[in-house]
Amino acid sequence: MNSEAELEVIIANLAGFCYGVRRAVDTVTETAEAGRKPMYILGPLIHNPQVVERLEERGVKSVDRLEDVPEGSIVVMPSHGVPRRVLEQASEMGLETIDLTCPFVSKIYQTVAGLVTEGYQVIVVGDKGHTEVRGIMSVSGDDAIVVSDPAELINHALKNRVGVVAQTTQRVDRFTDCVSEIAARAYEVRAFNTICHATTERQREALETADGADAMVVVGGRNSANTRRLAEICSDKGIPTHHVETADEIDPAWFAGMKRVGVTAGASTPDWIIGAVVNRLEEIS
C-alpha cells in the first residue's frame, strides 16, 4: 500500500479497560464460573457489545427490567450505575444483588446528595438519557438540570446557588465551558470536576498520539460515551479519525499513502479487541 515504508502503528499508552470496568467484568466472570445461582445484569454490564456477548456465552444474560429476573437469581447492577429506586426495588423483591457501580460514579452520588441537602440546584454536565446520568439525576432533586453544551443553558432558569458535577466520561473542555457559563449567571457556584482520572488521562494520551499520526483509529463500542469522546477530540484536531468496534471494520484504503496511524481505545474496550485491531493494521502494511 505504501511503497516507501511500512505503515507504523502507534498505540496510546493508556487504552482499554479502566479500573471500574475491569472490576465489573472480573467480578461477573468469577461469579459466573462459580455457578452458585443464575445471574442477570440489569442492562449491559459495560458499553461494549463484544464483552456483553462473551458474558452471554457464559450464561450471564442482560435484562431490561427487574421483573425479568427470575426468583432465586442474582441481579447485577452495571458499572454505570442505576437510579437509587432500582436498588430499593431489588431489595423489596428479595433478589440477591451485586452492585458494580464504578466507585467514581458512586462518589458523584455522594457529592450531589450533599449539594441537595445544602440547598443547591444541581446541574449535571452529561448526556441526557445515559445510564450513568439517569442514576445521578435520581439523587439530584426536582430542580436538577442536565446539559451537554453551554448553549443549552439558555433554555433553563438557574437559581442563585448552583452545584455542578460532570458525567465521568465527559470532555474536560466541555465541562469547563459549562461551568464558565453558569458562573456568569448564578450568584454562587460550586463546581466539582467528577470526570474520572481514566477518562482525562485517556483523552490526553489520545491527543498526544494523534500529534504524531497521519490518522487515528479509535476502538470501542458505538454505545460507549467515553469512546465517542476520544473519537471527537481526535477528529477535532483535523486528522482522519475512524471509530471501529472490531478489526473487521478496518478498510485499508483509509491509510493509502500514510506513514503512521495512531490507535487508542475506550475504557470499556478489552485488550483482545485492541490487539486484533493492531494486528490488522500491521497486516495492511
* Catalytic center residues: 132
Rounded to 10 deg, the angle between the 19-34 and 49-57 helix axes is: 10
First to last CA, the chain: 7
Q: Which long-range contacts (CB under 8 A, 24 or more apart) does 67-74 make?
A: 68/40, 69/40, 69/42, 69/93, 69/95, 70/38, 70/40, 71/95, 72/37, 72/38, 73/37, 73/38, 73/39, 73/40, 74/31, 74/36, 74/37, 74/38, 74/39, 74/40, 74/98
CB atoms within 10 A of CB 278: 19
Here the cell at position 88 is 430499593
